[in-house]
Amino acid sequence: MTDTRENTRRTVFFVSDRTGITAETLGHSLLTQFDGIDFRPVTVPFIGSKDKAETVAQRINETAAAEGVRPLVFSTLITDECREVIQAADGMYLDFFDAFIGPLEKELDKSSSHAAGRAHGVFDAETYTRRIDAMNYALANDDGVSTRHYDRAEVILVGVSRSGKTPTCLYLALHYGVYAANYPLTEDDLEDGMLPKSLKTHKDKLFGLTIDPKRLQDIRQERRPDSHYASVRQVNYEVREAEILFRRYGIPFLNTTTSSVEEIATTVIHSAGLQRRFY
């Protein structure tokens, strides 16, 4: 009897001495290229000792035995001691450092430090402070609550309610340490077709978000069913006027309808020429 499970289901281990975010990010990018396989992800972070690595190796072996097919193992382990243990387990071992560190050492004419815990998301007091500060800034300057601190903003997102401003600002803050404020265009702004003075002063920092009216209606309907706010007419009006206003003032803008938070944030950063810090 042939076991066909191997073509449809596969357990995937992401093994890391730190958070596992790098291993997940890279592994996920690769796995999305394979359709029709049900990947079962298991992230095992903080594998910083041989003992812990041995526990993971055992889990890999047990999974292989139970499922009749060896799991995939994406590793960002740095220490040889831990890597050897995982590599010896019954999985398909894919090592992100192995593949590139050798060529890089040659190119840079330098040995790598082989030091653990340097990858993505490792504590550093200065960057931690900047990110948290940027987050506090985003929260304090969310939704037009305050327009007094726009001097400090690196970018000010402008758009109608529920066009994606708040998640983008928080993502920019937490991920990139960018100071991002946001201002919701009010009915008054839209009727006048004019930017409020607080925004005009900072015109160069403005970036507009717009959205497909149908999608916006769905989002608002979920939030306040059958309200004026969620009506087709109101939504169409707001989106149309907001886009007219963006064009009138030459504000760059993005339609967020089919964009992820990452994509919106990336577009904002590049459009606004902001520094893309990496934490």
Binding-site members are 159-166
Q: If binding is defined by CB under 8 A, does position 92 make contact with a second copy?
A: yes
Inter-residue long-range contacts of 146-152, CB under 8 Å, 24+ positions, other chains counted: 147/181, 147/183, 147/196, 147/198, 147/199, 149/181, 150/181, 150/198, 150/199, 150/201, 150/202, 150/205, 151/202, 152/179
The CB-of-258 to a second copy minimum distance in angstroms stands at 5
Nearer to a second copy, 88 or 101 (CB): 101
Residues 23-82 that bind a second copy (CB under 8 A): 24-26, 28-30, 32-37, 41, 43, 45-46, 72, 76, 78
Nearer to a second copy, 104 or 232 (CB): 104
> In this chain, which stretch among 105-113, 146-154, 203-211, 228-236 interacts with a second copy, using CB under 8 A?
105-113
Number of chain residues interacting with a second copy (CB under 8 A): 75
> In this chain, which stretch among 93-101, 189-197, 201-209, 239-247 interacts with a second copy, using CB under 8 A?
93-101
Residues 108-127 that bind a second copy (CB under 8 A): 108-110, 112-115, 118-124
Q: If binding is defined by CB under 8 A, does position 229 make contact with a second copy?
A: no
Q: If binding is defined by CB under 8 A, does position 96 make contact with a second copy?
A: yes
